[in-house]
């Protein structure tokens, strides 16, 4: 792997220095989040976004925020846990004054249905009022994201594509109900990296960002205005849209200030070192962590069969989805070939019609050529649907499942940490016992301090492990619900596209039949 590997942020390394740096002069509520290590979600499943928002926006200056009872606990945790070291993390400074945080009350969440215009790729996430009201756990998300208008900025190898990100929402956590910003691909990667670093290791399934593509982007940069580069841009645009839609659907992530800033701020500092930040990079990191975990041969005493079962299920699902995806890719490819071959045949049928000296037959052959030309268009459109609906859904889920596997692995690491703490505590107690026997009073106090320290760590480790287990259960439940809905919606849309194609075929051939019969 060529990408610069980022070490998974180690939990609990007391890098209080980072914490302090951030405290200086940051007046944005959307601080870089070092404090967000702690689990932002409240224990109640029916958590209202209200609490989460305020919690997340706790920067080093708690007084700026409207507090709630839960906040004390979070603070306690915040001081102990430290974040992630992310060497790329730059202070998000902007000349804008920090927007005030408005606590969200449930009443503002009920919103009218927002029409979404479908863009070039099919909009998968149409939300009807019924769907909004059906949100089982009572959360109502009324927010729609569109990614559109790709625009090339700059020239040569420094050029990049800028996309318009439009948000339509009635959630009052946003200052407006409709707004848009311009973002480039690395901004999306930057967003994902931040969210991943904050939430992945505590058990949240963070949707992965779309893949980088050197070949694709280079073509765009050097200005190849051919169909393959437009296709590439469209593919990316659609992928970015799906990525954001999935991210905002996540109740916890929706509250994240980095996400909000991404959607709202007109200026965003450039995310550097995006190689490491790419979705693929994060996944590689996750996978490496997984490998490392396996290599450590963690013999975790799985007291909870649910986790083992689920892991196996996801493993099977992953395999099957990959198989299906490969087959669908072949389908897309062959349908494109069919389209090209049909177009070629149409031309030769037209030529043949021109040569034919029997008038009626000549006309019929020309008509046949026209029919075949239209059919070629149909095949192209169908290939488009094959890809954007079926194939991309599968590849999205293959990458989502990698993220799911990642959180399971984080749980194992968490368990390991707890386990290690217990072992260390035991050692400290043994050491203390030895000191007692050897009767070295000056060392006893230190030993006792260390024991207290490690007792606290063991407790913390247990709490963390329970918390991550709980979070994962909830996340998996939510993920599965989403998955079912997603697949059903897309499958239905896909089948409808197939029906459309057949109906057009019927139309074309019905028009041709009398022409053939007219040959006398």
Position among 176, 224, 270, 358 found at the interface with other proteins (CB under 8 A) = 358
CB 37 within 8 A of CB 82: yes
* Structural tokens at position 178: 């409709």
Listed residue (80, 67, 95) closest to 463, CA to CA: 80
Q: Any bridge partners for residue 153, and if so which?
A: 160
* Minimum separation from the CB atom of position 437 to other proteins (A): 58
The reply to whether 517 sits near other proteins by the rule CB under 8 A is yes
Q: Report d(CA 163, CA 147) in Å as an integer.
A: 6
The reply to whether 398 sits near other proteins by the rule CB under 8 A is no
The reply to whether 484 sits near other proteins by the rule CB under 8 A is yes
Listed residue (8, 72, 14) closest to 410, CA to CA: 8
Position among 175, 218, 348, 449 found at the interface with other proteins (CB under 8 A) = 348
Report the b/e string of 48-64 with b at 16+ CB within 10 A.
Answer: bbbbbbbbbbbbbeeee
**Residue 144 main-chain phi, psi, to 5 deg:** -130, 135
DSSP H or E stretch at residue 404: helix 392-438
Stretch that binds other proteins, among 94-102, 147-155, 313-321, 467-475 (CB under 8 A): 313-321
Position among 200, 364, 412, 425 found at the interface with other proteins (CB under 8 A) = 364
* Minimum separation from the CB atom of position 393 to other proteins (A): 12
The reply to whether 306 sits near other proteins by the rule CB under 8 A is no
- Please identify, using beta-carbon distances, which residue of 420 and 496 lies nearer to other proteins: 496
Position among 175, 228, 316, 445 found at the interface with other proteins (CB under 8 A) = 316
Q: Report d(CA 214, CA 280) in Å as an integer.
A: 13
Site string for other proteins, 318-337 (x = CB under 8 A): --xx-xx-xxx-xx--xx-x
The reply to whether 239 sits near other proteins by the rule CB under 8 A is no
- Class of residue 158 by CB neighbours under 10 A (exposed 0-12, middle 13-18, buried 19+): exposed
Position among 114, 317, 398, 444 found at the interface with other proteins (CB under 8 A) = 317
**Which residues make Cβ contacts (< 8 Å) with residue 219, sequence separation at least 6?**
226, 228, 229, 232
* Minimum separation from the CB atom of position 137 to other proteins (A): 17
Residues near other proteins (CB under 8 A): 313, 316-317, 320-321, 323-324, 326-328, 330-331, 334-335, 337-338, 341-342, 344-345, 348-349, 351-352, 354-358, 360-361, 364-365, 368, 480, 483-484, 487-488, 491-492, 495-496, 498-499, 502-503, 505-506, 509-510, 512-513, 516-517, 519
């Amino acid at each position: 792997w060529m990408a610069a590997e980022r070490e998974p942020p180690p939990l609990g390394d007391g890098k209080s220095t980072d914490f302090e740096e951030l405290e200086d002069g940051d007046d944005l509520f959307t601080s870089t989040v070092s404090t967000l290590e702690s689990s932002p979600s409240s224990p109640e499943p029916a958590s209202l976004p209200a609490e989460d928002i305020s919690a997340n926006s706790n920067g080093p200056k708690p007084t700026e925020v409207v507090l709630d009872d839960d906040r004390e606990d979070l603070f306690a945790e915040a001081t102990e846990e430290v974040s992630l070291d992310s060497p790329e993390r730059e202070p998000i400074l902007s000349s804008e004054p920090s927007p005030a945080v408005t606590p969200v009350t449930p009443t503002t969440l009920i919103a009218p249905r927002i029409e979404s215009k479908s863009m070039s790729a099919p909009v998968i996430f149409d939300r009807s009022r019924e769907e909004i009201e059906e949100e089982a756990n009572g959360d109502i998300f009324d927010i729609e994201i569109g990614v559109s208008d790709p625009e090339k900025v700059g020239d040569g190898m420094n050029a990049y594509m800028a996309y318009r990100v439009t948000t339509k929402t009635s959630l009052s956590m946003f200052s407006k109900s409709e707004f848009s910003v311009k973002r480039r691909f690395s901004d999306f990667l930057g967003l994902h990296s931040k969210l991943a670093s904050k939430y992945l290791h505590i058990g949240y399934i963070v949707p992965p960002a779309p893949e980088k593509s050197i070949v694709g982007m280079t073509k765009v940069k050097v200005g190849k205005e051919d169909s393959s580069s437009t296709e590439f841009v469209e593919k990316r645009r659609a992928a970015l849209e799906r990525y954001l839609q999935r991210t905002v659907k996540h109740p916890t992530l929706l509250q994240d200030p980095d996400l909000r800033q991404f959607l709202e701020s007109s200026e965003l500092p450039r995310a550097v070192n995006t190689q490491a930040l790419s979705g693929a990079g994060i996944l590689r990191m996750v996978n490496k962590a997984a490998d490392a975990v396996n290599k450590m041969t963690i013999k975790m005493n799985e007291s909870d069969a649910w986790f083992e079962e689920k892991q196996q299920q996801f493993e099977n699902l992953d395999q099957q989805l990959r198989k299906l995806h490969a087959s669908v890719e072949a389908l897309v490819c062959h349908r494109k070939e069919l389209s090209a071959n049909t177009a070629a045949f149409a031309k030769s049928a037209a030529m043949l019609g021109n040569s034919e000296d029997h008038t009626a037959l000549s006309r019929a052959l020309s008509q046949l050529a026209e029919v075949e030309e239209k059919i070629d268009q149909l095949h192209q459109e169908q290939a488009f649907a094959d890809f954007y609906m079926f194939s991309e859904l599968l590849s999205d889920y293959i990458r989502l499942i990698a993220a799911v596997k990642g959180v399971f692995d984080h749980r194992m690491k968490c368990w390991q940490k707890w386990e290690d703490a217990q072992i260390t505590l035991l050692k400290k107690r043994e050491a203390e016992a030895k000191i007692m026997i050897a009767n070295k009073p000056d060392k006893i106090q230190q030993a006792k301090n260390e024991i207290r320290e490690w007792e606290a760590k063991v407790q913390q480790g247990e709490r963390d492990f329970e918390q991550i287990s709980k979070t994962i259960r909830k996340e998996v439940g939510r993920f599965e619900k989403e998955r079912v809905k997603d697949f059903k919606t897309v499958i239905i849309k896909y089948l409808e596209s197939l029906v459309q194609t057949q109906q057009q075929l019927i139309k074309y051939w019905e028009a041709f039949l009398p022409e053939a019969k007219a040959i006398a």
